[in-house]
């Protein structure tokens, strides 16, 4: 969800892996072994035989490591929880590979990842078997902060004020995957409608899919999150047990610990209270938005936005320090967006030039200077056949063509 694969591949190791593999979702041991063999072949083990067990699979992985000429042999296995099926002996085979062979070598680095947080915590991080205390480093991948989301929005060409960025953050949190669904040229309200309510299958089912991927049996986790959503300050564990019907036992402790480590909840104590009186508070923005807005308001109604439409111009200031500007049509909307519309009639796609780019920047600066508007300013080009996307088209957030004018 946060982007662990890109983080590990591009930022930390530049994709220089001796071996890399990803588990297959919703597939049995036979398919998992077939795909693992394919990864071994792609890593140079062209004569790899058919694999029947995980012990054999990791023995063949040794061949890849021994034959590699890389100084540091980096082995990257993603979505490892999907590979561990009942009675497949995956964990014993992995333990044997690491403890009996790989750990004795100074040139082997094994990186494992997985979406199923409960599996990673119980089998790897806090495992009591052969992998106990074998983790050298944990790589935490946290959501973006507001400043990082501002940089992401700028790189996407998303024109938004900081007020609007905070609105996005309150709904999506700092998860880049969700932010990539935002469309330039739409307001916050329009983007939220398109992502959650318009039936376009973008993020409408994301909440259920998210919890199903993180936790093998997600129902109790969802019940806890739903209970916490109703109380802004949070609940003590006795109150959580009473609200959800989950016994106040070690099982509830496990659920709360995993939700805390996944970043869904935080635990805190008020001044003067005992440790046992700790309060658990839901802090995941996406979950809060889901329960408070998405689940209660999925009605498919289109979003209409009231606006004030007018032409606008300003004269050149007397000191000549700034240029004057004239805008064909201004659409001043109630959802925090102002569209500055340029009308261009052409017999083919309109080609933006450096003069157009300079004009747009000047008009935006003049409009903000004269009107003192705090709304996000978007440029819309109204043309016959659209604009040709070139180096100067980055400032244009939306287009209207002749065909759009004939739509009822």
* Claim to verify: residue 34 and residue 61 sit in the same structural domain: yes
> What band does 302 get if pLDDT is binned at 50, 70 and 90?
very low
> Given the DSSP bridges, would you call strands 73-78 and 108-112 parallel, antiparallel or unpaired?
parallel
Q: Same structural domain for residues 283 and 380? A: no
Q: 106 and 46 in one domain?
A: yes
Contact 226, 373 (CB under 8 A): no
**134 assigned to some structural domain:** no
Does 169 lie in the same domain as 97? no
Rounded to the nearest 5 degrees, what angle is found at the Cα of 254, between the Cα atoms of 251 and 258?
Answer: 150
Instruction: Write the pLDDT tens digit of every residue in 311-328.
Output: 888 876 655 556 778 898
Element holding 35 (H helix, E strand): helix 29-42
Residue of 39, 63, 56 lying closest to 92 (CA atoms): 56
Number of other residues whose CB lies within 10 A of the CB of residue 374:
11
In a domain, 138, yes or no: no
Calpha distance 179→3 (Å, rounded): 12
Q: Which domain holds residue 222?
A: 208-294
Instruction: Give dist(CA 8, CA 17) in Å, integer.
Output: 11
Report the alpha-carbon distance of residue 320 to residue 314 in Å, rounded: 13
Which among 294, 325, 346 is the end of a domain?
A: 294
For residues 126 and 181, the model is more confident at: 181
Under the banding of pLDDT at 50, 70 and 90, the label for residue 300 is very low
Domain boundary among 263, 294, 325: 294
pLDDT of 317 reads: 62
Q: Say what the pLDDT of residue 201 is.
A: 56
Is pLDDT at 63 greater than 50 in this prediction?
yes
Do 358 and 322 fall into the same domain?
yes
Q: Say yes or no: 221 and 281 in one domain.
A: yes
Task: Count up the domains in the chain and report the number.
Answer: 4
Q: What is the largest CA-CA distance in the chain?
A: 84
Q: State the DSSP code for 85.
A: -
Rounded CA-CA distance 309/323 in Å is: 23
Tens digit of each residue's pLDDT (9 = 90 or more) over 64-85: 999 999 999 999 999 999 999 9
How much is the CA Rg of the chain, to the nearest whole Å? 27
Tell me, yes or no, whether 300 lies in a domain.
no
CA atoms within 13 A on the CB side of 299: 6
CA pair distance 332, 307, nearest whole angstrom = 5
Q: Are 273 and 214 members of one domain? A: yes
Asked whether residue 24 falls in the same domain as residue 84, the answer is yes
Establish if 130 belongs to a structural domain: no
In the three-class reduction of DSSP (H, G, I as helix; E, B as strand; rest coil), residue 195 is classed as helix
In this structure, the answer to whether residues 169 and 266 fall within a common structural domain is no
Report yes or no on 137 lying in a domain. Answer: no
**Rounded average pLDDT over 360-364:** 90
In a domain, 341, yes or no: yes
Residues 56 and 152 in one domain: no
Query: Cβ(58)–Cβ(37) under 8 Å?
Result: no
User: Do residue 182 and residue 259 come from a single domain?
Assistant: no
Nearest partner of 96 among 137, 37, 48, 55, judged by Cα: 55
Read off the pLDDT of each residue in 170-196 and give the average, rounded to a whole number.
89
Share of the chain above pLDDT 70, in %: 90
* CATH code of the domain in which 376 resides: 3.40.1350.10
Single pTM value for the model: 0.67
Mark out the alpha helices in 129-249 (DSSP H runs): 146-156, 162-172, 176-179, 188-192, 206-214, 219-229, 237-244
- Residue 368 domain-assigned (yes or no): yes
294, 325, 345 - which closes a domain:
294
Parallel, antiparallel, or unpaired for β 73-78 and 265-268?
unpaired
Residues 322 and 382 grouped into a single domain:
yes
Distance CA 300, CA 2 (A): 28
Residue count of the chain: 408
Across the chain, what does the average pLDDT equal? Answer: 87
Residue at 132 is within a domain = no
Report which of residues 154 and 15 the model is more confident about.
154
């Amino acid at each position: 969800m946060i982007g662990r694969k890109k983080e590990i591949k591009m930022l930390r190791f530049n994709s220089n892996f001796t071996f890399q593999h990803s588990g297959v979702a919703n597939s049995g041991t036979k398919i998992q072994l077939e795909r693992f063999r394919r990864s071994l072949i792609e890593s140079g083990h062209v004569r790899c035989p058919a694999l029947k067990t995980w012990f054999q699979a990791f023995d063949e992985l040794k061949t890849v490591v021994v034959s590699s000429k890389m100084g540091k042999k980096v082995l990257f296995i993603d979505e490892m929880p999907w590979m561990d099926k009942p009675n497949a002996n995956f964990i014993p085979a992995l333990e044997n590979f690491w403890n009996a062979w790989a750990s004795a070598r100074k040139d082997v680095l094994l990186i494992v990842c997985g979406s199923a947080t409960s599996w990673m915590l119980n089998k790897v991080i806090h495992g009591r078997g052969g992998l106990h205390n074998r983790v050298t480093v944990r790589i935490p991948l946290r959501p973006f902060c507001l400043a990082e989301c501002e940089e992401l929005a700028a790189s996407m060409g998303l024109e938004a004020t900081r007020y609007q960025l905070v609105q996005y953050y309150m709904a999506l949190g700092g998860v880049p995957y969700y932010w990539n669904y935002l469309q330039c040229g739409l307001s916050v309200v329009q983007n939220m409608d398109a992502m959650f309510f318009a039936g376009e299958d973008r993020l409408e089912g994301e909440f259920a899919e998210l919890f199903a991927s993180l936790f093998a049996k997600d129902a109790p986790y969802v019940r806890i999150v739903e209970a916490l959503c109703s109380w802004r300050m949070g609940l003590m564990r006795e109150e959580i047990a009473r609200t959800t019907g989950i016994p106040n036992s070690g099982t509830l402790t496990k659920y709360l610990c995993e939700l805390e480590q996944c970043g869904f909840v935080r635990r805190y104590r008020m001044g003067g209270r005992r440790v046992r009186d700790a309060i658990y508070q839901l802090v995941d923005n996406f979950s809060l938005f889901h329960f408070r807005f998405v689940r209660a308001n999925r009605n498919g109604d289109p979003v209409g936005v009231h606006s004030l439409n007018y032409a606008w111009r300003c004269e050149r200031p007397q000191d000549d320090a700034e240029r004057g500007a004239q805008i064909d049509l201004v659409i001043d909307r109630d959802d925090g967006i102002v569209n500055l519309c340029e009308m261009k009639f052409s017999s083919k796609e309109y080609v933006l030039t450096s003069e157009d780019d300079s004009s747009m920047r000047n008009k935006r600066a003049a409009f903000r200077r004269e009107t003192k508007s705090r709304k996000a300013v978007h440029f819309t080009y109204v043309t016959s056949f659209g604009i040709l996307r070139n180096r100067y088209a980055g400032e244009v957030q939306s287009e209207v063509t002749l065909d759009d004018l004939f739509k009822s």
